[in-house]
Amino acid sequence: MTTATDNIVVGLIGAGGNTRLRHIPGLRDQAGVEIKGVVNRSLESSRRVADEFGIPEVYEDWVELLEDDDIDAVCIGTWPYMHAPLTVESLEEGKHVLVEARMAMNSDEALEMLDASKRAPHLIAQIVPAPHSLEIDSTIINLISEGFIGDLVNVRLQVGTGSDFPNPDLPLHWRHNRDFSGNNIMTMGIWYEAMMRWFGPAATVQALGQTIVKHRMDDGRRRSTSIPDHLDVLMNMEGGGSMNYTVTTVSAFARELDLWVHGTDGVIRVELADPNASNGATYAVSGARRGDGEMSPIEVPEENRGGWRVEEEFINAIRGIEPVTHTNFTDGLKYMQFTDAVSESVKSGDMVRLPL
């Protein structure tokens, strides 16, 4: 059992943008944490990361890293196609695991990961959480819990991050490749994970997906992609009420975020805040209750404003200081089952019941 005073040695498997931007600095901010080594997609890229961040060791492959008895924990920053095998092997080698979102390629892999974590209950297994709503989660959850909206009637969520007119000249991203991304679609899973924090999971899913841009450029070649770039999902929620969820990257002038929560006694709206706002908030929250003549701003108290503390939570969980709340493997399996249900419904046109 690791104590609060023990040093923790971490190895990095995959060092993409989020690992370099968030995880390396975040881990180094924790007292008594050492990043010993890194293995990336190639030896050359591993050495570049090691040189950039002063990481002392580079490994030939991930097997060599996991066989290093000095390493207590691993941060897995690869694309989703490697998350399940790396996580299962890491846990079997006795390493704590922080794995990048999305959890896996599909819910079968997610279940394998959850089962592996149950076989090693003394090890911490954490998924990098959907960060988008962390700032307002506590405020919204408190409002709902205190009866501000009454019972849920409907959620209308539109996410149009980076949306524009369709452009086949844009490069092929790994998210457009099922071999790397699996059943994950755009940022669908990220916002569904946030909605589960507020309302719990969906009970049924019916989805319509369109792949408007069917080809993208990759190293000078045009390659096909079948992953939807516009998606409409209709859900019945397990706890009552429904949700209409649209995710798009091909709808010009679409709002980056437009979220309405309608209840029997109240309504809440979340949209992007004025970037020039003096309080530095990302989101503007407003609401109204039965009898009000108009929507009014809802204050997000500073003490309730959440933020990114993934690496701190991971290290604290290893040391027994706090449990993992963002995000454990049980919740990860739920959003991967949702992801599979959406993909199945898009293909069949049928309503799919959850859990799978």
pLDDT tens track for 297-355: 999 988 999 999 999 999 999 999 999 999 999 999 999 999 999 999 999 999 999 99
CA distances from 238 to 125, 260, 265, 291, 296 (A): 26, 18, 20, 29, 29
pTM: 0.93
Sign of CA dihedral 61, 182, 243, 157: positive
The answer, yes or no, to whether residue 1 has pLDDT greater than 70, is: no
Q: How far is CA 203 from CA 110, 130, 141, 188, 235, in A?
A: 19, 21, 20, 17, 7
Read off the pLDDT of each residue in 78-102 and give the average, rounded to a whole number: 97
Confidence at 126, pLDDT banded by 50, 70, 90: very high
Spatial neighbors of 50 by CB under 8 A, at least 6 apart, are 37, 38, 56, 57, 58
Q: Regarding beta strands 230-237 and 73-76, do their DSSP bridges make them parallel or antiparallel, or are they unpaired?
A: unpaired
Please give the pLDDT value at position 217: 87
Residue 70: helix, strand or coil by DSSP?
coil
Q: What is the pLDDT of residue 278?
A: 62
Q: Per residue in 204-246, pLDDT tens?
A: 999 999 999 999 988 888 999 999 999 999 999 999 999 999 9
List, for residues 172-211, the tens digit of each pLDDT value: 888 888 999 999 999 999 999 999 999 999 999 999 999 9
Question: Token pair for residue 109?
Answer: 């892999």
Token code pair at residue 27: 């881990």
